Amino acid sequence: MERMTTNPFYTSGIPVTVPSPLPSATLDENFPGLPDAQNVLMERELRRTPLLPHQSTVARMRGQLHPSTGSVGPLCSPQAVRFSSVSNPEQYTSANPYTSQTPSNGSSSAMVYGSHHEGLEPTYTDLPINVGPVWCPDHIMLEYSDDVPAGNNLTGISPIAATDELAKQTEWWTEFMNDDWKDIADNTGGAKTQPQAGPPVQPSTSVHQPASQQIVPIQLVEPSVVAAPSPSASSNTSKTRMRWTPELHERFVDAVNILGGSEKATPKGVLKLMKADNLTIYHVKSHLQKYRTARYRPELSEGSSERLDASKEELPSIDLKGSFDLTEALRLQLELQKRLHEQLEVQRSLQLRIEEQGKCLQIMIEQQCKPGADKVLDSSTSAEGSKLSSDPQESSTVKDVPNYSQNGTAAEAGAIIDERLLYVYDTNHYYDESL
Amino acid sequence: MKFGKRLKKQVEESLPGWRDKFLAYKRLKVLVRLVSADHRSGSSSPHRAAAEAAFVRLLNDEVDRFNAFFLEQEEEFIIRHREVRETAKAVADDEQRQPSEMRKVRREIVDLHGEMVLPLNYSAVNYTGLAKILKKYDKRTGRLLRLPFIGEVLKQPFFTTELMSRLVRDCEATMEAVFASSASRDPWTSTNAEMAPIATEQGIFRNTVAVLVAMKELRSGSSTYGHFSLPPLASEPALPEQSLLLSIQVAEIFPI
């Protein structure tokens, strides 16, 4: 399946992941009781024999994760290893794009400035399943290092003896955070499997925690991790990016102007002036970069506006009979865009409503199921009876029920629930009649 | 046409930088197939569990990817929108403005407007894909993943597009301001359908058209219409738009 290895979706290699709740749930149970977790992991490990070679690689890498090394490189390796270890045994791959990513692909600035915010978190979500207990303590340590700079507290994670290690690691982290990302990237390039992934990854981990905080006060968005069937309370481990708003941006611009313009302003200065909670220097840095780019281009074009006008570079194919035709074309474009926007809005509100109705249905059916559960057992005979003697109206409602379950609303669990619903409906009718 | 194919087509039509940002629908489908295959053959549950775990993991990864990309786009547009607004204000206030400047500003605004609508489409397409694949998953495995998952998706940054929408509308307002100031010079006449083929040269416009067409196809009525399907796209009474779309499609086949 060529799709597997050369998935076009991942070629640019922006690895953006967040631990899913399902594995995160395992994380949560890992923290309080390591020994038990380790046993669980060992069990799982046994089932995944192909992973052993990878596991040893990870273990080796693991050793390098100690803060004393002080180098950036080792931290990238587990990430690389993780992907390869995950992909190969499971034969579902997105391995190659991750391991071979280079920052020089198209959106390079995005890469460097933390558009991929997977950080080290995803590593942890995968490894509990795939790799043995070797992995655990380090995971916890690094998890803390994510938190400490931002001052977040991961719920449900009990402090572990590694706190001293933690403090050391945090210091080491903050040292790095004060450096320029690009310098780090340049220095460590080429030597390791994923040189470019490393440096951006590390600072971005600290970015994520504040990001999750940032989102709450400023915007409507919950920084919650997307839920799996077993919903978990691990929203604090989400690595969502910082969500900028126009208001925040306005403050940013004010700060920049105070400092003398986009060229003169430094991220540190801007950060100080802005006095925004949970805004890190990395957020500001990347934002400043974007700001500079946005301003630079218009200035360029303004300077050469006469040239443009003369050469008609913008629209080579339009015979400019004055500004009239161009305006018409623009208007056309605008109208179409407006149309699209409108349609998208409508679609979105419809989708929201559909989901809401789905939820309501689920609640309704659940409510019916619960009281109906006992009745199913007791009054099965009477249900039978009422079923047989059901009038057309009843039978039509009964018919609706299987439809619902087939279409995938709340009762999507198959034939058994279909039948139970039938009984519930019938017994309800039965009860109505008795009243 | 199946969703997978339509998605692929849309991805191809999209701007180069976007092509790898869309949902990995096919890959998810493969996973679903693997999960259900295991299920049916009754093979050892670790394999099935692995497939399921991989599926969920991929789903989560995808959502995170969407979030990251969308937030990045949002941030850029916040910045650019403000800049354009400042520029527009400056040009509108400037008494000695050149027609070329006006043209430039207008063009900038319109392009920005178009670009800002694209992330909204991105969000919609990916959401649709997610909903579809989840429906398939539930159907094949008998699990109840869809509802809670989609519930979470609805709260995700990439789907909470209110801010983006607001920016688009602000852009329109800015446009009105700029265009209105020189209404006397450039009277609005009825849209000229002949302009359409020429307009397709411009990247954003072309993309917008492609998106509209794709949307229309996607919403044209489903074979598996159910309680969670969207109704068909309302046929617009604006006939000029229809013919416009057709002429654009023709122009795309025979680029000028």
- Contact by Cβ (8 Å): A188, A66: no
Distance CA B199, CA A315 (A): 9
Q: Tell me which chain B residue has its CA closest to the CA of residue A130.
A: B50
CA distances from A64 to A83, A124, A142, A171 (A): 18, 16, 13, 17
Residues of B in contact with A298 (CB under 8 A): 83, 87, 108
CA distances from A282 to A117, A288, A301, B75, B98 (A): 12, 10, 29, 14, 40
Give the relative orientation of helices A121-130 and B45-93 as an angle to the nearest 10 degrees.
Answer: 170
Q: Do B142 and A92 touch (CB under 8 A)?
A: no
Residue A244 is nearest to which of B34, B78, B196, comparing CB atoms?
B78
Both tokens of residue B240?
């000029």
Residue B147 is nearest to which of A110, A215, A410, comparing CB atoms?
A410
Q: Do A221 and B191 touch (CB under 8 A)?
A: no
Closest to B123 in 3D by CA, of B28, B206, B213, B215: B215
Q: Do B117 and A324 touch (CB under 8 A)?
A: no
Does the interface predicted TM-score (ipTM) exceed 0.85? no
Q: Do B78 and A246 touch (CB under 8 A)?
A: yes
Q: Do A90 and B54 touch (CB under 8 A)?
A: yes
Q: Do A298 and B146 touch (CB under 8 A)?
A: no
Neighbours of B28 (CB within 10 A): 24
Distance CA B218, CA B230 (A): 10
Distance CA B214, CA B118 (A): 13
Interface test with A, best of B79, B105, B174 (most A CBs within 10 A): B79
Q: Do A16 and B83 touch (CB under 8 A)?
A: no
Give the relative orientation of helices A73-90 and B45-93 as an angle to the nearest 10 degrees.
Answer: 130
Q: Do A330 and B31 touch (CB under 8 A)?
A: no
Residues of B in contact with A79 (CB under 8 A): none
For chain B, say whether A294 makes contact (Cβ under 8 Å): yes
- Contact by Cβ (8 Å): A134, A78: no
pLDDT, one tens digit for every residue, chain A (435 residues) = 444 444 444 444 444 444 444 444 443 444 444 444 444 444 444 444 444 444 444 444 444 434 444 444 443 444 443 444 444 444 444 444 444 444 344 444 433 443 444 443 444 444 334 444 444 444 444 344 444 444 444 344 344 444 555 555 555 555 545 544 445 445 544 444 443 433 433 444 444 444 444 443 334 333 333 434 433 443 333 334 788 999 999 999 999 999 998 888 899 999 999 888 888 888 999 999 999 988 887 666 555 444 444 444 444 444 444 555 667 888 888 889 999 999 999 999 999 998 888 888 888 988 888 776 555 544 444 444 444 444 444 444 444 444 444 444 444 444 444 444 444 444 444 444 444
pTM of the predicted protein model? 0.54
Smallest CA–CA distance, residue B237 to chain A, in Å, is: 12
Q: Do A20 and B56 touch (CB under 8 A)?
A: yes
Distance CA A152, CA B34 (A): 39
Q: Say whether B184 sits in a helix, a strand or coil.
A: coil
Closest to A22 in 3D by CA, of A128, A132, A158: A128
Greater confidence (B142 vs A101) lies with: B142
For chain B, say whether A251 makes contact (Cβ under 8 Å): no
For chain B, say whether A339 makes contact (Cβ under 8 Å): yes
Q: Do B212 and A118 touch (CB under 8 A)?
A: no
Q: Tell me which chain A residue has its CA closest to the CA of residue B74.
A: A244
- Contact by Cβ (8 Å): A31, A236: no
Burial of A167 (0-12, 13-18, 19+ CB in 10 A): middle
pLDDT tens, residue by residue, B4-19: 888 888 888 888 888 8
